[in-house]
Chains A and B, each alone.
Chain A
Amino acid sequence: MPDDPDIVIRASGLTKVYRNGPVEVHALRGVDFAAVRGEFVVILGPSGSGKSTFLNILGGLDSASAGRVQFRDHDLTELDERGLTQYRRDHVGFVFQFYNLVPSLTALENVALVTEIARNPMNPADALDLVGLSARQDHFPAQLSGGEQQRVAIARAIAKRPELLFCDEPTGALDSTTGVRVLEALTEVNRAIGATTLVITHNAAIREIADRTLRFADGRIVETTVNTTRKRPDQVSW
């Protein structure tokens, strides 16, 4: 896999140290990782294990203390704030735990918000269709349920056709049934646009729908599991 031309993102020796006064917190201690195009990766691990820091650095929201992150043949660690913004803008989709939709925009407009600044976006209505929300496109976030809001958020994240889709606890605020709908949406768009998808979750049940599961502990990847057969979201529950 190291030289696989399909590798989209690669981290090597990734280290992150936060200084909090005299105390040094090692959030990441030399993480090596690579993911290929279209791969669906679930990241598990207890709070403070470094999984969010890992995702933030890969997503261009935070910088590493040491090590390298490469997106295709670009070295993210060499980019400044402007370069990272451009990277997120062109290549990365994010889904947040609390959806973070803009309350003053309708579902369709929330998606259009991103397509307006993207290079090769989908039609916003198609993106909403992909998550099954065409009928709700003119509703404001306040008129949508939590699960619907999260699906709008997914549509917003993938409408730019990103190579990478990062989701931090996308089902964390949802009940099981709604969570399953959201996971279905995620796997569907993963399949449809071929974005490499990294999903952080506390929910071990979700690993069964992934190609690969990473388990983080104490700033390291302590276990990697490859699923030979992926389950469909409706086959899991919690």
Chain B
Amino acid sequence: MVIAPLRRKVLRDLGRLWPQVLAIALVLAAGVATMILGNGAYASLSETRARYYADYRFADVFADLTRAPLALLGDVAAIDGVLQAEARIVKLGRPEFPDMVEPASILLVSLPVNPDAGLNRLHLRQGRLPEPLASDEIVVSEGFAAAHRLQPGTTVPVVMNGKRRDLVVTGIALSPEFIYALGPGEMMPDPRRFGIAWLPRATLEAAYDLDGAFSNLVLRLAPGASETRVIEALDRLTAPYGGLGATGRSEQTSHAFLDAELKQLGAMVKVLPPIFLLVAAMLLHMTLSRLVALEREQIGLLKALGYRPGSIAGHYLEFVLCIAVIGCLIGFVAGAWLGAGMAQLYARFFSFPFLVFTRDPQIYVLAAAITVAAATGGALQTVRAVLRLAPAVAMAPPAPADFRRRTGWAARLVPLRQTGRMIARHLLRWPMRSLSSIMGVAMAVAILVASLWSFGSIDHMIDITFSRAERQDVRIAFVGAEPASAVQDVRRMPGVMAAEPFRVVGARLSHGARSKRLAIEGRPADARLSRALSPDLVPMAMPGAGLILSEALAKALDVARGDLVTVEFLEGRRSLSHLPVSGISVGYVGLGAAMEIGALNRVMGEGALISGVNVSLDPAGQDAFFAAARQAPKTGFMNVTDLTVSRFRQTLAENITVMITVYVTLAGIIAVGVVYNFSRIALSEQGRELASLRVLGFTQAEVSGVILGELAVVVLVAQPLGWLIGHGIGLAMVAAFSSDLYRVPFVMGREVYATASLIVIAAALLSAIAVRGRINRLDMIAVLKTRE
């Protein structure tokens, strides 16, 4: 067994170089962990969703309408491509909890006669479904039940169509339709203020005067059926009954938010692991090259002794593979642990009856294979050099490092002291190594820049949306359209300081082949509460006739100011108009289109109607206002800006610590790994020179300055590069994450760069301190006597 001593050497090398080995293994582990976490979470989320959808027959097409006779269902089911159609009554009610001052709403959904055969089947967590003939029984969504401590048997007073009913909870359930349960007009799920209740249709028929009629359709399509064609056919059928236009899953709120989450995960998997693996490959290359340079004579000796070049090259490859294995193992554990944490986060955010956290061995095998490939890739050049080294050449001492080429111009950097020249020339002597170390540190900065900017951007988004655009304290949406005089009723409520009406009309906007379904909002010309803002954040006056579109919508429709868009109103007379785009406004949530309320009402031709009122409140009168607003029969639901914002911030705050910890750790691992390895190698190469300088009377600080000076150059040059790369990643993220649901403003402030740099510089300083200890312990006596 000739190989055994070499294998022992591998183990000893690993032990001897353990800090460097660990630093590299951690960078690899970060790559493996993010790969497993990202892929695992992606697979977990998409598989969970897919299985949930399949098992519980999640519908493919959704449509709301005002009122249609049940007889229409037969026609709907007969549309080519429709596998199953279900007519439901879906209405918004208002729960009344004695301990709750702020407004809440509950979505009331009728249950099919045979719930097991229906679409969007419920997953009962507790209790049972209501008896079909029981008029006061409901099943409530789990989050809502938990937020209000509802149990089977608890009574919930719900105002339905202005009448208060006491409903008894018989069960607690989940539905694939509300995995992400977002209340109307809200930005984040808040299970305290929004829940879902399922109840026999008879109860809803009676409450909403919908005997033999329905207000909502859900459809399942046959495999391969064209969603577009079905929707077109369905819209034709429902139009006479107040159909608001059907949508596919992609516009179903819960589904779309899950899609956005999956999109983000997919982006993370594409960006993070490659960064870590590249940096690790570079570190391995650096470390192995130095190891081989130091062991040149041993390699020559081994070859002279008759070891085959292959075995010797294999020995170094084994060293690298051991590091890869250590990295994989740490990465597996960290990835699995983080994955479990991510699953918990999902469980809190999304309502799934089960979570498939795939511990798919394929992901692990793939991660290991990629890691080993990256590590081997990093080692390849050095291993080839080992193969090529002739024994006689290897056993002679290496020629002194030749600084003539490449570095000559550095001598012309006149103001440098000699130690400065040493730093400059050493960096320039190995430009690839210096550059790749700079890139490595820059990546650490970039990861931070690309993650930290989002916080400022969210603040910006909140500031713009709620301090400048939507300045009302409360937005009351009526159950249906009301005469314009309704604003006077609201104005008379206690605590109201200002009230402005709005009108919301569902419409389909199209321009050429592009079309979007959304709600056009009519506002007073001189609105002071809910306003449109121009891109330079100046409030825009509502134009006399045209539309103001949000940037996102203008982009989606590919229109600019002055273009004409076709507006097909989905309510009232369902008229078709061609309206000019009078302006483009900023907006981060949803697709927005606004008009002057009078102009909108003129186009609609139904007289002066309003859908609700925006209100600014005297804080002292808030509770009295809520009480009065709740009592008003017109009130559909209310959005309270403070609650929306605080819920938004609270949800972010819950994730922010986790996110910051994860990204700072990841960046720290890269920064420490690169800086530590770089300085250890610089020290290994220059240790003898530095010890000589100590003998010549240089102080410890002066000698450390040579290595730390090199480090400082690498770390400092890396900063602007890191800012630039991080900025680029941030821009790519904005593009990747933007959807019809929300857009993220790109706000990159100096404080983001500063924070990222400070964190990376702190990590670099820690590594520098570790290396400084070694510099201080340089053996001065040895250099007098020994050759390198």
Contact = CB atoms under 8 A, between A and B. Distances in A.
Interface of A: 52, 56, 59, 61-62, 81-82, 85-90, 92, 94, 96-98, 100, 102-106, 109-110, 112-114, 116-117, 140-143, 156-157, 160, 168-169, 173
Nearest to B429: A104
B402 A94 contact: no
Contact of A97 (B401, B418, B785): B785
B696 A116 contact: no
A104 B781 contact: no
A96 B402 contact: no
A64 to B, nearest CB: 14
Given A89-B699, A102-B418, A142-B402, 12 more contacts: A52-B785, A81-B700, A85-B697, A94-B696, A97-B785, A98-B786, A98-B787, A100-B689, A103-B400, A104-B403, A104-B425, A142-B404
Given A105-B422, A109-B418, A143-B404, A100 B688 contact: yes
Contacts of A105: 418, 421-422, 425
A86 B694 CA distance: 10
19 contacts: A52-B785, A61-B695, A61-B784, A82-B699, A89-B696, A94-B784, A96-B692, A96-B695, A96-B784, A97-B784, A102-B693, A104-B407, A104-B422, A105-B421, A106-B411, A109-B418, A142-B404, A143-B404, A157-B696
A102 B697 contact: no
Given A56-B784, A61-B781, A62-B781, A94 B695 contact: yes
Interface in B676-691: 688-689
Closest 10 pairs between A and B when the two form their complex, measured CB to CB: A89-B697, A104-B425, A100-B692, A88-B697, A113-B418, A142-B402, A142-B400, A103-B401, A98-B787, A104-B403
B450 to A, nearest CB: 37
Given A103-B689, A105-B421, A142-B403, A168 B694 contact: no
Contacts, number: 101
A96 B419 CA distance: 20
Contacts of A114: 696-697
Nearest to B695: A94
Contact of A168 (B403, B699, B785): B785
A142 B402 CA distance: 6
Contacts of B400: 103, 141-142
A90 B697 CA distance: 8
Interface in B379-411: 399-404, 407, 411
B702 interface: yes
Contacts of B786: 98
Nearest to B407: A104
Interface string B256-296: 00000000000000000000000000000000000000000
Interface string B412-454: 0000011101100110010000000000000000000000000
B363 interface: no
Nearest to B783: A100
B345 to A, nearest CB: 52
For chain B, give the interface size range: 35 or more
Nearest to A113: B418
Given A61-B781, A106-B411, A113 B693 contact: yes
A112 B399 contact: no
Contact of B419 (A52, A113, A157): A113
Nearest to A85: B699
B698 A117 contact: yes
A99 B746 CA distance: 59
A112 B421 CA distance: 11
B589 interface: no
A169 B692 CA distance: 15
A86 B426 CA distance: 27
Contacts of B421: 104-105, 109
Most chain A beta carbons < 10 A, residue from B692, B694, B695, B696: B696
B741 interface: no
Interface string B157-191: 00000000000000000000000000000000000
Contacts of A106: 411
A103 B697 CA distance: 19
B693 to A, nearest CB: 7
B252 to A, nearest CB: 66
